[in-house]
Structure 1
Amino acid sequence: MKDAPSSAGSIVFLLGALLTIVLLVLLILRHYLPLRTTPAYLTVPIFFALGLPASIILLVPIDLASSSRAEDSASRGIWLPDGALLVLWRVAYWLTFALTWFILPILEEYADAGYREPRSRLLYSLRANALYQGIMLGSGILAMIYFFLQSGATLSTFKGLVMALAYCWSLIFSIVLMGNGLVSIPRKLFRNASIAGRLKRIQAKAATVHEKMEDAITNLEDLEAQVTALAQRKNGSAKLFQDWIEELAEESHLPESRPRTLMRRMSTPQVVIPNVITEGYMADLSRKLDRARHSRARYLDEWDRILQSSTDVQTILDSAGSKRIEIGEASPNASLLDRFTILTPYTRYLYKNYVLPYGRVVLGVALSLASFCIIWSEVIKSINPYFSIIALTVVHHQEGKRGQIGFAGQVIAACWILYMCAAALVTLTEVKVWRGRALVRRNTHGESAMWFAMQVAKLTVPLSFNFITFLIPDIYERTVFFDFLGQYVELTPLGKGFNWLFPTLVLIPVGASLFNLYGKVRDCTGFGAGVIDDGNEENDTGYGTGSWREGRDLIERELQGASSLGRLGGSERRTHVPNNPNNRTAPHLSVPPAERRALGQASTSRPSATTQPQTSIESENENVFEAFGHRFKNTIDTVQTPKWLQNVGDGFKRPKWMGGDGEGEAEPQRPGNDVSRWFGGRRDGRVRL
């Protein structure tokens, strides 16, 4: 009698893969969160919200190989018994379900509540989630009536209702995001292959980021001024929250302790404090302060990355003559690969000017083909699944009419699922409608980190199940995953039709992103500006928000050290960048970036600070009429004549009573402007009336 095949080797491989996933998740958490200061109620759910979806990507290929193997022989890939797979699927799915729909939403609002007491924060979180859960419950009641009419009112039907509704809602969300990402990822690779075009896009983005950074800094200063004014109240209702107010004041970088922008020195923020201080007001102020600090840190970090990217790309362009790229002292935040390099200046020039651009083109072509295969398989699976390109790449070792999936097919299947999830997650970072949420290196807001982790957990299950439907029904219908989830999704005719037909609508976001429909709608209606970062926001006509020329000037001033953004004295060191004709200096990044920058920025169109003292001294010694004459003259002097009006009158002769000789000769220049002579001319710098 032949011995039953053993899965011991597969179990060892699975344990090693899970350990690798744990290490990768910890590295991701360390990259985006300060682990020492982040509370455990944030790090532990985020860890499971990232680790469980990664394990699902690992379980799908194992399930496919296990279900396609012969009953009396071991699989040629990694396989597990059906009982073990069912246990793993139950643990992974229901933990992910609980995190997505209950645990993470409550903890997300709990972290953003602003209250000091845990009970108050929990009540605020429950109230904030009540509306969302109420909408879901209302939709579920309608779907429950339909399910019970189709399949009867049983416990199994109710379980299928919950699983089907969660799958359908997540599938709608994931298909829309994935469709945009399937176009966005290859397009970015093709665009970044051009070094000059990449620099221009960085400069075009710089103007918008700089403006948002100024707004974030100004908003934080206004809130901190409100805290300062609130701390001056020592009696009344403010006395009840004195400890809370002092805590906010200690955490705030008060304007008196750092340099301020010119505009902030010239204007005093309007601070409105209610007469009666309540707990709700204090919580709202704390919440706004927390969001404003992380918003400031987000744009400061983004501005630093723009400066660093601009410097690196400009160095590559400047090396065209010398054929060498020198590197200076590595930044403390540089990666291990950046700190140690074996490339010589000449080989570094070849690598960055030829290898990387052509490598991006090759990778862009490969990912474009991968995107086409996914889109083709989405459309063709409802017509004839045997023509699915993904199925041909995954199923190997044909034996008669039954196909098997080996280790190579498992690796390819995992890569397909990983690319589908990456396409959806990339779109999350491009869409600008998530209430200002963003991932910041070592300084991500706890609420933002929780929200992004929730989206990762929400997208992985529907995309993984959608992937197995690309294969032949004879293979995926025997999987434990389909038996666990698919039977409930296809429990009713409506659910079965939705599962087969809705994914074909991926063509809508694909077409909208491919033909820049978002930009056309934005240009026609004026709405949706900046909703999706499609890379077409350049303004080639001149200056203004989004202009690459304005962004270039802002970057130049920052790198030359002439930016109007003040710095904390001695807190920043700059590293010299060689091969730079303008003697640029690379910004030194520190963690967090908010620690090393003054929190103020004057716009480039604002008056220079050097002219302010003289104007103030003159204004103290002049009367109303003199001040009016000065301001009126300055206004006229700064007006530029339109081009179409500059040459008008050249053919006319000036009469003698206007100072000419009647022959069209120009009037001799006199000191001062004609407008000043209307007020009696200037004597000793003053206007005589």
Structure 2
Amino acid sequence: MWAFNLVSLPLTVGMVVATLRYFASPAVPLYVLATVGYAWLCSLSFIILVPADISTTITGYQEGDVGFFWSWTYWSTFFLSWAIVPTLQGYEDAGDFTVKERLKTSIHKNLVYYKIMGSIGLVGIILIIIMRHDWAGGIMGFAMACSNTFGLVTGAFLLGFGLSEIPKNIWKTADWTRRQKFLYHRIANMAANFDNAHQEYCHAIAVVQATSKQMSKRDPLRPFMDIIDNMLAQMLRDDPLFKPSGGKLGEDDMDYDTDENTMAALRRQLRRANEEYYRCKSKYTSYVMEALELEDTIKNYEQRDANEWKYISGFRENRSCTLGSFFDFIEFIWRCILRKQLMKVLAVILGCISAAILLAEATLLPSDVDLSLFSVLTNVVGKQEVLVQVIAFIPLMYMCICTYYSLFRIGMMVVYSLTPRQTSSVSLLMICSMIARYAPPISYNFLNLIHLGGNSKTTFETVLISLPFTVLF
């Protein structure tokens, strides 16, 4: 088991760090990065614990460490997803001027949500009491049924979408003509969104500046206005190329200086407009750069004989070193030939894994026929510990990627955004909360695909049954 952990644990930590560095905005505070990083690490640690758990169950050598780490990661994700992260998310989203007021606003918003959820749960408990005389066990069963149903049912839909979309999108990306049309369409849409975000940002700046001008220095709200002015000045210093223009004021735009709450709303509006502007700018720039690079690649491929199969980039100067010609040839082979073919091969491989997972899902129902390829492979390798862990690790990792891919796609349409180097604190916290909630259901789903035979139960299943309330799912 330790040989597997020596490879998988650094890989998981590296994935978390690289993902955070790639997506997090420079303005994200350190405590948010630490919280999100820990939540992601706890969630992804399931892909290490599940293979280890399966291996120890098959070999019959149960290690106490596995049970300890299961409990640790389970309760960590529980408190993170249901208490710590939502509170921190509301705190980051609040526009109040003191720590106390921001926490108060966050707790108030979360209490409203929990009151609604609690009311729904109370109705279910009342129904159980009415319908059953022996209702003590029914309440426990109701809590576990609700939790399992939410995680497994919604997780199944997310998994199914990802299993289909990921191989299909990779295959489409390998088609240069199709990818060009897609990028042109996205660039047109993002240009409109970018323009709207620019107008909203300029509007927010105009409101702040106008409110600041009309407020006297002796106004009781002036200290709050100074905080907003300093925040705006810092935003403009961070991007000297940005020039506000076209911000028009409406009739209701000068009502922010009435009390502390309206000033907090003004601060929040400015911050959110700033985040949206740079999010749209980042996405628009990335699409434009990808389209230009694709056009460059197509042009080099069409002129390959004239260029002697050397890649001539339109974005950089030609290599003048001794091995420059050789490097140009290698770059041409990679960009114009190999990458396209490798993407098609990868799409076919992932498509086969997706088909195997979908077929294995059929074995969740009682059946005499084992259709799970992963179960068959696990039984074939028997007690070869490392092979068992590798066989479990690869499909489980892919299932996590598919589920989280669907979460990102769906969430980016309505709730949050995941943008390279421009993802805000609120979006990062929302994403990490959802990831933490779906980590145990994914693991439980995968364990059901591995038929260990007999009455063998993994440590995860034992720990799950022993929990007083399995409400994380």
**TM-score over 0.5 (shorter chain):** yes
Residue by residue over 1:207-232, the C-alpha shift from the partner in whole angstroms, topping out at 9 and shown as x without a partner, is: 00110000111001101100010110
Q: What SS does structure 2 have at the residue aligned with 1:277?
A: coil
Q: What SS does structure 1 have at the residue aligned with 2:254?
A: coil
Counterpart of 2:224 in structure 1 is: 241
Aligned length: 455
Q: What SS does structure 2 have at the residue aligned with 1:44?
A: helix
Residue by residue over 1:74-112, the C-alpha shift from the partner in whole angstroms, topping out at 9 and shown as x without a partner, is: xxxxxxx34222111111101111111111111111110
Give the stretch that moved more between structures: 319-328 or 371-380: 319-328
Give the distance between the partners of 2:438 and 2:200, measured in 1 at CA.
34
Counterpart of 2:201 in structure 1 is: 220
Counterpart of 1:447 in structure 2 is: 426
Q: What SS does structure 1 have at the residue aligned with 2:122?
A: helix
Kindly indicate whether the alpha-carbon contact (under 8 Å) linking 1:381 and 1:470 is maintained by their aligned counterparts in 2. yes
Counterpart of 2:453 in structure 1 is: 474
Residue by residue over 1:335-394, the C-alpha shift from the partner in whole angstroms, topping out at 9 and shown as x without a partner, is: xxxxx9996333432332322222122111111111111112112320426222231233
Give the distance between the partners of 2:11 and 2:360, measured in 1 at CA.
31
Counterpart of 1:64 in structure 2 is: 54
> Counterparts of 1:624-635 in structure 2 under 5 Å?
none
Aligned partner letter, 1:173: T
Kindly indicate whether the alpha-carbon contact (under 8 Å) linking 1:177 and 1:428 is maintained by their aligned counterparts in 2. yes
Do the aligned partners of residues 257 and 412 (structure 1) sit closer, same or farther apart at CA in structure 2, a change above 3 Å counting? closer
Kindly indicate whether the alpha-carbon contact (under 8 Å) linking 1:114 and 1:283 is maintained by their aligned counterparts in 2. yes
Counterpart of 1:457 in structure 2 is: 436
Counterpart of 1:363 in structure 2 is: 346
Match of 1:393 among 363, 377, 381: 377
1:410 matches 2:389: yes
Counterpart of 1:624 in structure 2 is: none
> Counterparts of 1:451-600 in structure 2 under 5 Å?
451-472=430-451, 474=453, 477-486=456-465
Do the aligned partners of residues 51 and 127 (structure 1) sit closer, same or farther apart at CA in structure 2, a change above 3 Å counting? same
Counterpart of 1:176 in structure 2 is: 157
Kindly indicate whether the alpha-carbon contact (under 8 Å) linking 1:468 and 1:476 is maintained by their aligned counterparts in 2. no
Counterpart of 1:108 in structure 2 is: 89
Aligned partner letter, 2:97: R
Give the distance between the partners of 1:360 and 1:133, measured in 2 at CA.
45
Do the aligned partners of residues 110 and 434 (structure 1) sit closer, same or farther apart at CA in structure 2, a change above 3 Å counting? farther
Give the distance between the partners of 1:345 and 1:15, measured in 2 at CA.
38
Q: What SS does structure 2 have at the residue aligned with 1:49?
A: helix
Counterpart of 1:30 in structure 2 is: 21
1:120 matches 2:104: no
Counterpart of 1:208 in structure 2 is: 189
Aligned partner letter, 2:64: G
Do the aligned partners of residues 226 and 465 (structure 1) sit closer, same or farther apart at CA in structure 2, a change above 3 Å counting? same
Do the aligned partners of residues 258 and 169 (structure 1) sit closer, same or farther apart at CA in structure 2, a change above 3 Å counting? closer
Kindly indicate whether the alpha-carbon contact (under 8 Å) linking 1:295 and 1:436 is maintained by their aligned counterparts in 2. no
Kindly indicate whether the alpha-carbon contact (under 8 Å) linking 1:231 and 1:249 is maintained by their aligned counterparts in 2. no
Counterpart of 1:381 in structure 2 is: 364
Give the distance between the partners of 1:397 and 1:435, measured in 2 at CA.
45
Residue by residue over 1:457-493, the C-alpha shift from the partner in whole angstroms, topping out at 9 and shown as x without a partner, is: 11111011001111226268421111122577999xx
Give the distance between the partners of 2:92 and 2:464, measured in 1 at CA.
33
Give the distance between the partners of 2:31 and 2:126, measured in 1 at CA.
38
Structure with bigger helix share is 2
Kindly indicate whether the alpha-carbon contact (under 8 Å) linking 1:393 and 1:412 is maintained by their aligned counterparts in 2. yes
Kindly indicate whether the alpha-carbon contact (under 8 Å) linking 2:282 and 2:419 is maintained by their aligned counterparts in 1. yes
Give the distance between the partners of 1:65 and 1:258, measured in 2 at CA.
57
Kindly indicate whether the alpha-carbon contact (under 8 Å) linking 1:378 and 1:470 is maintained by their aligned counterparts in 2. yes
Do the aligned partners of residues 407 and 420 (structure 1) sit closer, same or farther apart at CA in structure 2, a change above 3 Å counting? same
Give 1:308 shift. Answer: 1.2
Counterpart of 2:320 in structure 1 is: none
Give the distance between the partners of 2:355 and 2:77, measured in 1 at CA.
30
Counterpart of 1:428 in structure 2 is: 407
Give the distance between the partners of 1:430 and 1:125, measured in 2 at CA.
26
Do the aligned partners of residues 49 and 282 (structure 1) sit closer, same or farther apart at CA in structure 2, a change above 3 Å counting? same
1:53 matches 2:43: yes
Do the aligned partners of residues 397 and 346 (structure 1) sit closer, same or farther apart at CA in structure 2, a change above 3 Å counting? closer
Give the distance between the partners of 1:94 and 1:432, measured in 2 at CA.
25
Aligned partner letter, 1:87: F
Counterpart of 2:398 in structure 1 is: 419
Give 1:17 shift. Answer: 4.0
1:21 matches 2:12: yes
Give 1:321 shift. Answer: 3.9
Higher relative contact order by CA 8 Å / sep ≥ 6: 1 or 2? 2
Aligned partner letter, 1:200: K
Give the stretch that moved more between structures: 26-35 or 111-120: 26-35
> Counterparts of 1:131-150 in structure 2 under 5 Å?
131-144=112-125, 149=132
Aligned partner letter, 2:280: Y
Give the distance between the partners of 1:454 and 1:112, measured in 2 at CA.
15
Residue by residue over 1:491-513, the C-alpha shift from the partner in whole angstroms, topping out at 9 and shown as x without a partner, is: 9xxx9xxx9xxxxxxxxxxxxxx
Question: Which of 1 and 2 has greater Rg?
Answer: 1
Q: What SS does structure 1 have at the residue aligned with 2:180?
A: helix
Give the distance between the partners of 1:341 and 1:150, measured in 2 at CA.
83
1:346 matches 2:329: yes
User: Identity over aligned residues, as a percent?
Assistant: 22
